[in-house]
Chains A and B, each alone.
Chain A
């Protein structure tokens, strides 16, 4: 079984400032890791994923994340945010044999201020 903890429920940030969203997971097996974004009144959109290989993963909209196996973390970063990045962000994990069963964290709400 896996679990995901997103350490910050809300992150206010000024426009053009950097942002980091923290995600820690626990699992007894190797996992795949994902970040999804949910804009108001919409479904989830995949930002990026880590399956294997390079621990630094680049995604859409200028986001990137770094997988750290020893710290069981997968933090999401963006060097300069825009107003349009205001949304809820979810970290998720999946075991290799879990089909479509993603385990999500509780989410981090990012509010970008002008």
Chain B
């Protein structure tokens, strides 16, 4: 069984640039969610994708957007990067309709914005 994998693991961008982060969900999982974890803080929910559609969003501006593909992998796109976007971005997958909240997390993509 393949777990959740994310790429890249680390990247550095400058203010105003755009970034795309990628996530492959765990085998058999059709729901993907993204979280932002700033240094020293708990993760914050960005959004969730189910069957290729966004069906839940946290308090993040529209410059945070995403996609889910037919194979359930996902991308997180952030436009017009700001210094405060520096964080660990975590992808989590789960089986569709899971009410128990048992998410399986990847190891994250650490973004540094200079």
Contacts and interface: CB of A to CB of B under 8 A. Distances in A.
B65 interface: no
A100 B46 CA distance: 10
Give the interface size bracket for B toward A: 20 to 34
Contacts of A45: 105
Contacts of A98: 56
Contacts of B111: none
Contact of B100 (A32, A43, A101): A32
A105 B41 CA distance: 8
B33 A44 contact: no
Given A43-B108, A46-B103, A106 B33 contact: no
Given A32-B100, A45-B105, A90 B56 contact: no
A34 interface: yes
B105 A102 contact: no
Given A90-B43, A107-B41, A100 B100 contact: no
B41 A106 contact: yes
Contacts of B105: 36, 43-45
Contact of A99 (B4, B35, B56, B90): B56
Contacts, number: 72
Given A101-B48, A105-B42, A107-B42, A43 B101 contact: no
Nearest to A31: B101
B44 interface: yes
B62 to A, nearest CB: 18
B59 to A, nearest CB: 10
A96 B99 contact: yes
A42 B103 CA distance: 15
B107 interface: yes
Interface of B: 4, 31, 33, 35, 40-45, 48, 50, 55-56, 58, 90, 92, 94, 98-103, 105-108
